[in-house]
């Protein structure tokens, strides 16, 4: 089993797409093991997006991710990291495949609705940034045997 961090970014919350975005990932078969509404402050944004420091879009990205409440979630499943990335679609919504969240609901790379960890190391780091161990819930779903063969 793998865990990954998902963020419904401020545009997703403002546009009323929390249920749609989390729902698509949930419907795919991923299990929610942590979730909360929060406001990301500058310090947390800088840590989360440290790899992008120095890039032309970095300051704008910090402004965007701190501009309003977000929903952060930890999703679990086999290959969860890649599944979430695939369901989100390409970073640039105009290049994302139809059927992905970013293609179906977004236009602009600066307002692309959703974040998903991009590797096991990143997932571990990001989950640790946003959740304490006691905020994550390990639980059994009866439906698991119909999702994982």
The residues annotated with a catalytic role in the active site are 115
For residue 82, the partner it binds in Mg ion, ligand IDP, none, with Cβ less than 5 to 8 A by kind, is none
Q: How far is the C-alpha of 7 from the C-alpha of 43, rounded, in Å?
A: 17
For residue 126, the minimal CB distance to ligand IDP (Å) is 11
Which residues sit opposite 124 in a β-bridge?
none
Cβ(42)–Cβ(95) below 8 Å: no
Q: Which is nearer to ligand IDP, 30 or 81 (CB)?
A: 81
For residue 57, the partner it binds in Mg ion, ligand IDP, none, with Cβ less than 5 to 8 A by kind, is ligand IDP
Q: Which of 25, 12, 19 is nearest to 83 (CA)?
A: 25
Residue recorded with tokens 């949930």: 26
112 near ligand IDP, judged by CB under 6 A: yes
Q: Where are the beta strands (DSSP E) in the chain?
A: 2-8, 31-38, 70-77, 114-116
Q: How far is the C-alpha of 72 from the C-alpha of 33, rounded, in Å?
A: 11
Contact pattern for ligand IDP over residues 48 through 67, marking x by CB under 6 A: ----x----x--xx------
46 near ligand IDP, judged by CB under 6 A: no
For residue 141, the minimal CB distance to Mg ion (Å) is 28
94 near ligand IDP, judged by CB under 6 A: no
115 near ligand IDP, judged by CB under 6 A: yes
For residue 57, the minimal CB distance to ligand IDP (Å) is 4
CA angle 51, 57, 61 (to 5 degrees): 75
């Amino acid at each position: 089993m793998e865990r990954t961090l998902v963020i419904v970014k401020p545009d997703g919350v403002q546009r009323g797409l929390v249920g749609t975005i989390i729902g698509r990932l949930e419907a795919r078969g991923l299990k929610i093991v942590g979730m909360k509404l929060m406001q990301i402050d500058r310090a947390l944004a800088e840590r989360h997006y440290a790899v992008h420091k120095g890039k032309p879009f970095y300051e704008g990205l910090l402004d965007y991710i701190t501009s309003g409440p977000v929903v952060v979630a930890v999703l679990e499943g086999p290959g969860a990291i890649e599944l979430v990335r695939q369901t989100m679609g390409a970073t640039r919504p105009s290049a994302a495949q139809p059927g992905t969240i970013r293609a179906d609901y977004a236009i602009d790379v600066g307002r692309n609705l959703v974040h998903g960890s991009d590797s096991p190391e990143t997932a571990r780091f990001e989950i640790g940034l946003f959740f304490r161990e006691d905020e994550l819930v390990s639980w059994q779903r009866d439906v698991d045997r119909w999702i994982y063969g």
